[in-house]
Amino acid sequence: MAGSYRMCVCFTRKFKVTEAGPPPDVKEAFFKYTDGGTHMSAEQLWRFLVEVQGDGGLSIADAEKIVEQVLQKMHHIAKFTRHTLTLDDFHRYLFSADLNPPIRDQVHQDMTKPLSHYFIYTGHNSYLTGNQLSSDCSDVPIMKALKRGVRVIELDIWPNSTKDNVDVLHGRTLTAPVELISCLKCIKEYAFSSSPYPVVITLEDHLTPDLQVKVAQVMITETFGDMLYCPECECLEELPSPEELKYRIIISTKPPKEYLKAESGKDKGNKSQREKDSDDDTWGKEPLDLVSDQEDGDVIDTDTSEDSDNESQQPGVSAYKRLIAIHAGKPRGGLKEALKVDPNKVRRLSLSEQALEKASENHGTDVIRFTQKNVLRVYPKGTRFNSSNYKPLIGWTHGAQMVAFNMQGYGRFLWLMNGMFRSNGGCGFVKKPDFLMKVGPRGEVFNPKTKLPVKKSLKVKVYMGDGWHLDFKSTHFDLYSPPDFYTRVGIAGVPGDVIMKKTKIKEDNWTPVWDEEFTFQLTVPELALLRIEVHEYDMSEKDDFAGQTCLPVSELIPGIHAVPLFDRKGEKLNSSRLLMRFERIFKLRALEPPEEVKVLFDRYSQNGIMSLDDLRGFLVEFQGEYSATREDAQAIFNSLKHLNIFSRRGLHLEAFFRYLLGDLNGPLSAGVHHDMTQPLAHYFMFTGHNSYLTGNQLSSDSSVEPIIKALLKGVRVIELDLWPGSKKDAVEVRHGGTLTNPVDLLVCLKAIKDNAFQASEYPVVITFEDHLPENLQAQVAEMVTKTFGDMLYRPETDQLQEFPSPESLKKKVMISTKPPKESKTSSKKEQWNSEAAASKSDIETSDKDEVDDGENLQEDEEEMTVPEYMHLISIHAGKPKGGLQNWLSIDEKTVRRLSLSEQELENATRRHGTDIVRFTQRNLLRVYPKGTRITSSNYNPFVGWAHGAQMVAFNMQGHAKHLWVMQGMFKANGGCGYVKKPEFLLSNEVFDPNRVLPVKKILKVTIYMGVGWDLDFRRTHFDMYSPPDFFVKVGIAGVPEDKDMKETKAIEDDWQPVWNQRFEFRLTVPELAVLRITVLEYDTSGQHDFGGQTCLPISELRTGIRAIPLHDRRGDKYRNTRLLVQFELN
């Protein structure tokens, strides 16, 4: 394209529009990801999108589609032999507003909260085509607003001139009316053309009762039908959510007690003069109010006790009232009364922009508290005759949901409004930041007047612009030469964030290249909007407007993006756009103690120093460490000596805080402290199932690695399945009847010997599931004897009358099995399959390892022909003849081990619960996963523990909540792998697990804060665009009556979240309860990211403020990530 510009009468200059090449950053990115090549493949593009653009959810297939779209769009060829991008293609892709926009175009916020949790795109006098005094009323501006995504439409309804129908008009003005029915039909047709979320119609009602009935029964009900949302009760206690209200119409109004005659009111329009809207270049300065207290035609409602009485006397008024889902009105009294929160109902309050400004001066926190439950609508002052608008940030900062704007106007404030509601896919509902919804422990809420620190920095780079030559005439900006463009870029937000900067002027260029970078410090990024304007410089006159946009900072996608521009009215220009780069830099704030820690330090210190005696007093009085000595306090001092903050005179606040977060202040009692001299049957034992498998039960490898890992975590019972090798002359460990690869038995035995007592000195039990012929059993006996030597525990008699104690078995290895009479290799697969089938049909299953052969234990043992194998067995396993009653029979002369599947146990507990408890007081009960758990998942361990089962066998190679609970239980007693059963499971008065028990203890848990994620995770691990939004789930795992789960609020954009929330749990069986804590990173999709977990036995919790280390999904402890939590147990 070439443009001709006249310089004088006889001379013209021609300028050619040349396409600017890629900026240096684009070239650098291209060559980096193509390794210096000339073409970018889909895989290389995918890497760029993930690493630079933050599109972590994209796949290579998505990148291939993008390549295809770029080639089709740029080269207009449906079939393209080349499937790579050149540098120019890559540049054009980045510069395409359709393919590479700056914000997401899908709904991604949580839409299940009450309406009061959202900013709502709201119109004011939505029927006006122009100014407030003399323009026409029409359904056209309503249609335009709905198509743009506006969700709140305001209609002023009045009797028509003959008093027999209803018009919409701006009362007491010269505006021409439009029939209400036309507006309603327009709303029905276009309500959901741009968004499925609800449309609210606010009616400013000036009707007689008979016309109200007509509006209710004839117009609204017949027009909207099932689309209309009519609440079941007259006053809602809580507003429904946008998700619940999809495709619904909501009516909001307060019917007056009687018809408000026009002549009874004062014509406020005559009391004020016209006001010119300031849309000058200076941001944020509009004219002062000419008449300070004037409001527009919005009805000022006052709730009175006569209201309902008067209305009830009017025929048909009840039908009109039933339509109202959101009640509007102001209670009697002043602003303080208007802002009172009624716990039993919600309502809508309307304030003018002036009234809100005054309220914010003295009642800012009251306004925020009101808007957490109720709806606040803010509307323009009455002197804005030209349909100008006002600063929306004042309303948003105070939580106002409906900041009502004149959508038919234009100006910078309307640009901001449009920018805010580009958020969340442009659906018209934007979830309010959490800080506006948060209530502190003392009822405190966000104070907009508080001076806040910088939370994040936004880097914006303006590379270049293009497209004006396609959207404007060649002489639009300058008759004599091409335009001289510059860009203004800045922040609209809270006062401390407002700023405006600009690029240099690029002369005579339709495709200007600026390549300038700006940095903005933000204290409240959640409410900040990035303002972008392009102007054409004019030396002698006012600079020409060339496009604008506003983008919510919280929604910006990092990386290089095309930013489309809009005209003054907010309509998108066809081609004009900028190429920009966005980068958000989050400042990790200094670690600071919670307020409660500061209070404690002040209480136990003197003049800012905590001495040895002061610290000991804190340990004894507050932490409940009644046996703490000065030596214990000195050990804490010594652990902090390497820090610069340490003082010889004692601890400063920071050192005291470091101690509270440190390893010396853990949540559990250290070391083995249970009585370890009782028989093994008196202990829960950390037990593995198929301990040799690396993964699933069907096709994973058998290996010594999972055995070693289990032993190092404190597992004390290792299970090995013994099978003949392929040549029948060696012994393998594998899962029979599956595709799992084998491992040599000898390798497993040596691994057990080398690692058995690394984590605990208490005995290791090896349970053999034996499928061997006699010759191989003899070989096993020799292997075991030679491998373990003196470590092997051999009972003096063939049958123990009582199990020895863990203390007497320190550093001993025990063998437990039921020797078969013959090898069962051929039947293994049938056993596996039959177990799976039985599981599906709810038939009681036999242990795959211990198929009952129909003979009792003594007969089996008499027929054994391998005595050396028999002598290995210290814990005899097997099921006597008969059914469950016989299995649970107790022999006073012998002890044994019984194995039940999880299903068998559940079935048995229904009728034989006390029999099981009685059996486990003397004998061992092993519970194992059902055969259909082919993914190596686990089950609820509390069914076994509540019935005294010592060996609740788990797949240790799995990972999920049940395994976390198992690991939590065995953190007890110093993590030695043996936890003494509660006395009630050993008492002569046999415990009945099915009996409902009274509350025995109350546990109070206060979650203060968390630290360490920034050290244990990559910066973009949780979110490519911003720091994580952590929340904590805390609850109880235990007997059914004690189970509970609660959660904190999510703290946005913070690597060091402070929750300061307290929870209470009522416990009936605290001895078996485990405290579950899981940290998640909030995701609007509902698929929250995992941020750590731990489970802690409540019986072992140390009271006071404690540091809680977190673990990953597999139970491995993070190096730095932990929570600061307080425990109180009453």
What residues are labeled active site? Answer: 124, 170
Q: 462: which strand partners?
A: 516, 580
**Residue 532 and residue 374: Cα distance in Å, rounded?**
34
Strand locations in 58-151, DSSP E?
Answer: 118-123
Beta carbons within 8 Å of 468's beta carbon, 6+ residues apart = 477, 483, 485, 510, 546, 547, 575, 576
| CA 431 – CA 116 distance, rounded (Å) | 9
**In the 8-state DSSP scheme, what is residue 629?**
-
State how far the Cα of 419 lies from the Cα of 349, in Å rounded to an integer: 25
Query: What is the distance between the terminal CA atoms of the chain, rounded to a whole angstrom?
Result: 83
Are residues 432 and 119 in contact, defined by beta-carbon separation less than 8 angstroms? yes
The position carrying tokens 């001993």 is: 812
941 close to 907: Cβ distance less than 8 angstroms: no
Residue-wise DSSP of 399-413? T-SEEEE-TT--SHH
* Nearest-angstrom CA–CA distance, 304 and 121: 31
Structure tokens, 111: 């839409």
Is the CB of residue 1036 less than 8 Å from the CB of residue 1101? no
Question: Smallest Cα–Cα separation from 556: which of 591, 519, 527, 584?
Answer: 584
Strands 456-466 and 572-586: antiparallel
Residue linked to tokens 């422990």? 441
Q: What angle, rounded to 10 degrees, do the helices at 24-33 and 42-51 form?
A: 120
Structure tokens at 612: 């040895």
What is the crossing angle of helices 595-604 and 653-660, to 10°?
Answer: 120
Contacts of 1012 (CB under 8 A, 6+ apart): 1110, 1118, 1119, 1120, 1121, 1122
Helix (H) or strand (E) holding 729: none
Q: Considering just the CA atoms, what is the radius of gyration of the chain in Å?
A: 38
DSSP secondary structure string, 182-227? HHHHHHHHHTTSS-SS-EEEEEEE---HHHHHHIIIIIIHHHHGGG
Per-state percent for the chain, helix, strand, coil, to nearest 5: 30, 25, 45
- Partners of residue 980 on adjacent β-strands: 683
Q: Is 58 exposed, middle or buried (0-12, 13-18, 19+ CB in 10 A)?
A: middle
Query: What are the residue ranges of helices labelled H in 666-773?
Result: 705-712, 745-755
Q: Residue 1116: which H helix or E strand, with range? A: none
Q: How many CB atoms lie within 10 A of CB 454?
A: 15
Cα 609 from Cα 616, distance rounded (Å): 13
Q: Are strands 199-205 and 249-253 parallel, antiparallel or unpaired?
A: parallel
Rounded CA separation 891/856 (Å): 13
Q: Please check whether residue 768 is in contact with residue 722, taking contact to mean a CB–CB distance below 8 angstroms.
A: yes
Encoding tokens for residue 208? Answer: 């007689």
CA 197 to chain centre: 22
d(CA 183, CA 143): 9
